[in-house]
Structure 1
Amino acid sequence: MKHLNFLSFLLALVLVPASAQSTSEGYTDRPEFDDFVDGMVREHGFDADKLSQWLAEARHQERIIELISSPAEHTLQWHEYRAIFIKPERISQGADFLRQHQDAFDRAEEAFGVPREVIAAIIGVETWYGRYMGSYRVVDALSTLAFDYPPRSRFFRSELEQFFLMAREQGFEPSRLKGSYAGAMGYGQFIASSYRHYAVDFDGDDVVDILDNPVDAIGSVANYFDEHRWRPGGPVAIRLDNDIQVPERMMTRELRPRFTVSDFREAGVSLPDSLAGDEPARIIRLEADDGPQWWLTGHNFYVITRYNHSHLYAMAVQELAGELAKELETVAESGVGE
């Protein structure tokens, strides 16, 4: 999905309206504008006048540059990041969301093999189950980043291209779509290229709508994980003893696991017997409010980081999913709803 750090300043998106950060500057007088329009007409058959009209309405948003330059995943410790997402109200409302859409979650688990609590946790972390899906016009966000953010301009010009293709395919009016500061949309905060590649029509109405349709969003998140090779029943993250000793050479920075469980065992690291030796594994150290924590993360943890390239993000999803599973179990044991 090439998912970005879309959650970093979710509260800022709520508290600071996009309109308050816009300027009158457009993009029609920029050479990049003509190049982009010409390419869309030549390669995808867009109407030049209509496309120019949409882009002429796009406005630079300085606040977007500020937000994308300081993502929370790069500035917060684990205990600070965790506190944003693991809250009683987010857990209880997540359980409500799971019960409300039980049929969709049943079908998603059966079709894709992804646990319902993981799907719900993604939506819960991304948008609080659809409550906060972003206040920026996507055309403003992507234009700002495509033309005024040199570090990632090539990527965001591609996303701007994908956005117009997506809007045409789904019959959406581009100027009306809103999302995050990085152009992510809907319940699961898909960027445009991910929308086109992974979003699915999960309710059979012949429209792929993750913007307003939670059923399509549930199926689409599950499909994304399936396409990135989620392993049903595989481990995500397991807490290890605080006194564990891990060779420095095995404490890797990249998200993709370089070692296996057997590699760690051979290096003298004590791991649970239940773990298969050939399971890809990475051990991470997190700063909790009561001191450091050690976690062994598996292939499925890596799959979560394909949604957002941060181990803090994946841990937040893992922990929220665990809390949702416990909440459902508690409700089931109490017989509520029977």
Structure 2
Amino acid sequence: MRQAGQGQSRHYRAAVCTELKQPLTIQEVAPRPIGPQEVRVDVHFCGINFADNLVCRGQYQEKPPLPFTPGMEFSGVVLEAGADVSTVKKGDRVIGVSNFHSMAEQCITDQKTLWRIPENVSLQDAAVLPVSYGTAILAVDHRARIQPGETVLVTAAAGATGLAVIDVATNVFCAKVIAAAGSDEKCKLAMQRGAQSGVNYSQGSLKDAVKKLVGSSGVNVAIDMVGGDVFLDSLRSLAWEGRIVVLGFAGGNIASVPSNLLLLKNISAMGLYWGRYQHQDFAVFSKSMSTALQYCQQGLIHPHTGAVFKLEKVNDAFLHVMQRKSTGKVLLSLK
């Protein structure tokens, strides 16, 4: 195993946020020595997430000091490992999560935040897994506790996390999914990826459309990433003892929960902030990553990449996500 501080022969390129609400710049960065429990990774792919844009605009709950390199998740190959690293070695293919610094040709991270990729899983597919599938697995299993045969309503269904929820719910937990999205094309994609039916909520009431599909009994579970009126319609579409899991507010509006609805149908409303588990309950966080890799290795899930941008086009990639043109995961290719 290499000792810390070796392998620093050249500068590497990174996307850097030098000023909030301004385009990222591509800069040459000098490598720093790694600590005894740190690992230097040659990054091949990095995921683009909605949160990456928020942190670059100063609107995320975590605010790193300027300048910084964004990027929460990546796949790559280990270049060197610190003296006390025991989990990975040079040459291992890994996925990892980082505190907003992985949109770079190299990334240094603690060994605890890396997981080895099985031989039959590509680096590109692996890069889709951390945030989207880590969130999906905890939403479906740990929070909603979906049972085989239950009906699940998924909003923002054609996004990276929406498609991951559909993939896990249908192919692992044998649930029936209603995909709700903002266009017919996105609904079609969600159905191609496993949903039994689709609802375009830009064309009318989501609640009425769901009722036509399942009747007055409602759906067992709703997984919502939109917020606002879509959240409220999802809540009102739940069956007796239904569960709704809040994953985000892509629509920009945070709805107030009408607690009388929780009472009348014995509904459970819960949130899921996947990244918080990394600090509050690392065992649960790590299991979500290991499980995603295991499902992928077994061929149970099929990660979907919607678009791949080169590092030089990072601002185009951000715009692609923020203008809601993206379906599935958007990746940066560092090679």
TM-score by length of 2: 0.24
Which structure has the highest strand share of the two? Answer: 2
TM-score by length of 1: 0.24
Tell me which of the two structures has the higher relative contact order, counting C-alpha pairs closer than 8 angstroms and 6 or more residues apart: 1
Which structure has the highest helix share of the two? Answer: 1
